[in-house]
Chain A
Amino acid sequence: MQPAIEVGELRKWYGDIHAVDGVSFSVQPGEFFGILGPNGAGKTTTLEMVEGLREPDSGTVRLFGESPWPRNPKLLPRIGVQLQASAFFERLTAREQLRLFASLYGVPTKQADEWLALVGLEDMAGVRNEKLSGGQQQRLSIACALAHNPDLVFLDEPTSGLDPQARRNLWELLRGINEQGRTVVLTTHYLDEAESLCDRVAIMDHGRILQEGPPAALVRGLDSPTRISVESGLLPLAEAATLAGDVEVDDDGVSLTFATRTPAPVLAALAERDALRGLSVRGATLEDVFLSLTGREYRA
């Protein structure tokens, strides 16, 4: 099958800053692809070159086999883009905004109005965009990007700045969009977002993709220890250290934490001693992947 996106060795400098430094990836139709990285990693720049908003200094981009640069009118109706900063016309209501974007693609008014319900903004239809909350603006902006039914959707940090509840709601919306068969490319600096939404993530830092794959596979590939914590002081440190062969123990005064690659015997031993108060078991996350890739803590 022809990939929806094929990117080869993209590079972009801003003066001395090497914002994108040899990025390659491809995305299959129907996939939910994420680009994860801290601020300044080069996600937006990469995405804009893929969308055809910026000319790469070098490298190739193909969307459905076509180059998006310079402005390619054949591709434009097939892609939907939500820019990092929402782009709204001034002093128009949510409904007017949506109808306008739809009409630019020749989409009838009625079809545009359906999107208001799909993103849960029916009650806000007559409200000017300046008066919408952050989450409502993001949803409107996504509706505007989707009103013409594109095959391929780009979303640049769609949930940044939203409260946790609004983020969860938006995740549901995005999953739905992908389940309708659309290819979705999303950038995010939230590890949990990438982990929860994406079929595949590319972890990006300093303009390069460090690693790429399904989130679960990346985590598994780490072979990092499982962390088991119980209440501090339940066991003396010396005794705790003998519970399993490879265990590392630490008591920070709040929790007693075991790091081990063989969690089962540790858990069994704790159960035997009735020392499970405040138990939590945590596997590796993308955070650990980032740590092991860059040697530094993940800071969005």
Chain B
Amino acid sequence: MKGFVSLSRAMALGFFRDRTALFFTILFPLMFLVLFGGLFKSAGVSKTDVLEVGAVPVIDQLPADARAGVDQVLTIKPAGDRDAALAKVRKGDVAAVIEQVNGQVVVHFSAADQVRSGTVTSVVESLVQQANLRAAGVSTPALAMSAQPVEDQSLQPIQYMTPGILGWAIASGATFGAALTLVSWRQKKILRRLRLSPVPLQSVIGARVGVSIVIALVQAVIFVGVALLPYFGLKLSGSWWAGIPVMIAGTLAFLAIGLLAGAAAKTPESASAIANLIVLPMAFLSGAFFPLDSAPGWIRAVSNVLPLKHLVSGMQDVMVRGQGPAAVLPEVGILLGFCIVVTTAATFLFKWDDI
């Protein structure tokens, strides 16, 4: 493609030298991530803290795999001083104190927090039962239970927010990139100048698409990199790489929206106003910032026709919900379909000239 490389280079240089664009595409969304990531760090389903006074054989003598199961729910730490430990329960700092006096396992809990104390008592109760069974010589109980944490609905905030805010960042980067390039190139007569050069229009569009995809991937690397820091504690699931095609399809869809905004607008100011009007409400309606599980039905219905919803949920599926790569296929399909429809609309509005 003649001119593709040099046009891409020019566009990339223009972007990376534009401090405002850099700020709004990378730093600004990153601030959201850092802010919300820090704010909601402890708001998730945290483990229940328990203090152990003296030796508690029921817990201490658990086989390693059983202990690991317990550790997924409870954080058990030894307490030095019994009175101090009980005071912590009273203040609500820990959920319970466990001690074992001869054959008696005692759980001290505060009735103020029924959920956590319920968790502790039921776990301890099951441990005591298991110990009784073993003591009675039942080595293979008639029924066995294993606990498996489910990570679909109840995502940690950082797990939810990283793909969400990244999706919003990619969407606004691509939309503004396309809209502003189109309008300012038209206004500055660069489009007409290119029309007089032997470069095919496909090279011009290809360069914009290529640069936008690179920018989206740069955003993704930075975002995921920051979220993976121990402080934020993002954990990527196995097929996270399947998020990349979703990002690319999302970039294409939002480039198309940007092209449409750029084709309709006359000045860069109106282009960015139009782009803002499209992307910002979409971010809230698509669950990019917070889950829509408790939103009214009509909002969820609306969100399904918004491309950002599909970009975000496609990324969430494979990056944090642990779904297989095939899970993104429908979302990628929807995003590409969206891109085709909107691009077609944009070509009808496209003008080489602003006069």
The residue in B6, B17, B196 that gathers the most chain A C-beta atoms within 10 A of its C-beta is B196
Among A51, A52, A77, A104, contact of B194 (Cβ-Cβ < 8 Å): A104
Q: Are B198 and A105 in contact (CB under 8 A)?
A: yes
A88 within 8 A of partner (CB): yes
Residues of chain A contacted by B197 (CB below 8 angstroms)? 76, 101, 104-105
B206 within 8 A of partner (CB): no
Residues of chain A contacted by B7 (CB below 8 angstroms)? 100, 104
Known: A53-B195, A103-B6, A106-B2. A88 touches B190 (CB 8 A): yes
B245 within 8 A of partner (CB): no
Give the contact-size bracket for chain B. 20 to 34
Known: A52-B196, A104-B198, A104-B199. A88 touches B10 (CB 8 A): no
In the bound assembly, the distance between CA atoms of A209 and B259 in angstroms comes to: 41
Q: Are B184 and A90 in contact (CB under 8 A)?
A: yes
Among A79, A88, A99, contact of B188 (Cβ-Cβ < 8 Å): A88
Among B6, B192, B196, B353, contact of A100 (Cβ-Cβ < 8 Å): B6
Residues of chain B contacted by A104 (CB below 8 angstroms)? 2-3, 6-7, 194, 197-199
Residues of chain A contacted by B13 (CB below 8 angstroms)? 91-92, 96
Q: Are A81 and B188 in contact (CB under 8 A)?
A: no
What does DSSP make chain B's interface, helix, strand, loop or mixed?
helix
Q: Are A53 and B10 in contact (CB under 8 A)?
A: no
Among A71, A76, A85, A96, contact of B189 (Cβ-Cβ < 8 Å): A85
Number of interface residues of A (CB under 8 A): 26
Q: Which of A69-97 contact B (CB under 8 A)?
A: 71, 73, 76-77, 79, 81, 83, 85-92, 96
Residues of chain A contacted by B188 (CB below 8 angstroms)? 85, 87-88, 90
Q: Are B3 and A53 in contact (CB under 8 A)?
A: no
In the bound assembly, the distance between CA atoms of A51 and B192 in angstroms comes to: 11
Shortest 10 CB-CB contacts between residues of A and residues of B: A87-B193, A87-B189, A103-B6, A91-B17, A104-B197, A76-B198, A104-B3, A90-B14, A91-B14, A87-B190
Given contacts A99-B6, A104-B197, A105-B198, 20 further A-B pairs with CB under 8 A are A52-B196, A53-B192, A53-B195, A73-B198, A79-B196, A81-B193, A83-B193, A85-B189, A87-B188, A87-B193, A89-B14, A89-B190, A90-B188, A91-B17, A96-B10, A100-B6, A101-B197, A104-B3, A104-B194, A104-B198
- Report A's interface with B, CB cutoff 8 A: 51-53, 71, 73, 76-77, 79, 81, 83, 85-92, 96, 99-101, 103-106
29 contacts between A and B (CB under 8 A): A51-B196, A52-B196, A77-B198, A81-B193, A81-B196, A83-B192, A85-B188, A88-B188, A89-B10, A90-B14, A90-B18, A90-B184, A91-B13, A91-B14, A91-B17, A91-B18, A92-B13, A92-B14, A96-B10, A100-B7, A100-B10, A101-B197, A103-B3, A104-B6, A104-B194, A104-B197, A104-B199, A105-B198, A106-B2
